[in-house]
Structure 1
């Protein structure tokens, strides 16, 4: 399956997955600087360029507008009317810095518009905890639309499932946590892990679900109603299967 790889300006530890020629790589603003460290040429550069200066781009939008931040939040038709230019020969789309979406969300919307259903977000965590949390919300946004997203930090992977199950192979090791991102997650079941969980309800105001463990058998997590964040240790093998 073709994947959309988005690299942001957060903490960067290289590309944790093996890239293929079919992968579509988007640099989110100063994520381009991170990609340069790995010698990777993105297919698209997107941003308002508040964190990476481009001559003639940043600061050209005029005075702050009277903006309703929820106006057109779902449709987000702005992605079809972005200013286009070339930076280092790379197709570039410029976002107005007075906007609803952070750069990462704009990149996701552009990927969805091209038909991608699997997204890998690298450089999406770090010193800006607000941006880190926003990127986890993006995982919930994708899961609720039948897509799959992954956020990587140095040691862990975070994804989300919505009204579905996810299986992990027996070779998985380390900790596994499941946290509610929707108000309530009903019918949560965890099988094949150190602690067996059967048809419970998790809430996003309680940190229940931290630090289960893989034990060398195939594991499965499922939720009947709601959106769960799944956090687990990185492995070189990335073989997971999901079903509604």
Structure 2
């Protein structure tokens, strides 16, 4: 069976906000994320990792397992995304990937960009915010009631991002060029009962928005290629002491 949506449970910080779980989603737990999914009563299709942060042994996990060595190039979350992509998913919702260690959060945002570079979209959910990335495409947020300030921020992930437009927001941007050394897309705002869109003609954007706004629709992206297989070794460019 091919899936279109994948929900990933990571081993990081969790918050009280509800999780988005479509009935037909493919569910992957990244190592210790399995404990979180089990606590939430979520059925997991596959558990990926070296099982260094889950309380369960492989023999007691009620799901398919993909065992990886402790030393490898990919973090467990990236391996989970690869498993989801290889099962047909092109939209990903990730929990347990924000907060905690800053280096892990930066890594996870890079993985959003990796998915976007292949024409998919991934969302990191946590602490009242959602982070995503788009490449040569458009995100459209449906009309919704804005009862308090709902922020949305836009950053260039690539060196430059051209043809950037922000429409239907408090501050509009038309055919602008952003770069990843300049912060000029921070803290825009949704407008009550007005559809909003963020688009980039060439390049990659990282977008952060309040989770009280509805999930957007991605257009213009063309899914292609593969994210590859989960890493099982360390790159030969690295040395070990």
TM-score between both structures, scaled by the size of structure 2: 0.83
Matches within 5 A, 1:128-143: 128-143=101-116
Map of 2:200 onto structure 1: 223
Confirm or deny that 1:40 pairs with 2:53.
Answer: no
TM-score between both structures, scaled by the size of structure 1: 0.82
In 2, Cα distance between the equivalents of 1:39 and 1:21?
Answer: 14
Cα deviation, 1:155-177, whole Å, max 9, x if unaligned, reads 01111110111111121640110
Map of 1:3 onto structure 2: 5
Query: How far 1:110 moved relative to its partner?
Result: 1.1
Given the alignment, which residue of 61, 73, 76 partners 1:100? 73
Confirm or deny that 1:111 pairs with 2:87.
Answer: no
Cα deviation, 1:186-216, whole Å, max 9, x if unaligned, reads 1111111111111111111222210000112
Q: Summarize the Cα distance change of 1:34–1:15 in structure 2 as closer, same or farther, 3 Å threshold.
A: farther
Cα deviation, 1:35-55, whole Å, max 9, x if unaligned, reads 122122311111112222555
Query: How far 1:17 moved relative to its partner?
Result: 3.9
Query: How far 1:88 moved relative to its partner?
Result: 2.8
Map of 1:240 onto structure 2: 217
Q: Summarize the Cα distance change of 1:24–1:86 in structure 2 as closer, same or farther, 3 Å threshold.
A: farther
Asked whether the equivalents of residues 194 and 215 of structure 1 are also in contact (C-alpha less than 8 Å), the reply is yes
Any unmatched runs of 5+ in structure 2?
Answer: 222-241
Asked whether the equivalents of residues 86 and 92 of structure 1 are also in contact (C-alpha less than 8 Å), the reply is no
Query: How far 1:94 moved relative to its partner?
Result: 0.9
Map of 1:123 onto structure 2: 96
Runs of 4+ in 1 over 4 A off after TM superposition: none
Partner secondary structure for residue 42 of structure 1: coil
Given the alignment, which residue of 163, 182, 185 partners 2:136? 163
Asked whether the equivalents of residues 139 and 159 of structure 1 are also in contact (C-alpha less than 8 Å), the reply is yes
Map of 2:156 onto structure 1: 180
Asked whether the equivalents of residues 17 and 128 of structure 2 are also in contact (C-alpha less than 8 Å), the reply is no
In 2, Cα distance between the equivalents of 1:86 and 1:98?
Answer: 22
Q: How many residues align?
A: 215
Partner secondary structure for residue 54 of structure 2: coil
Partner secondary structure for residue 120 of structure 1: strand
In 2, Cα distance between the equivalents of 1:28 and 1:163?
Answer: 29
Q: Summarize the Cα distance change of 1:236–1:161 in structure 2 as closer, same or farther, 3 Å threshold.
A: closer
In 2, Cα distance between the equivalents of 1:188 and 1:141?
Answer: 20
In 2, Cα distance between the equivalents of 1:153 and 1:208?
Answer: 24
Map of 1:206 onto structure 2: 182
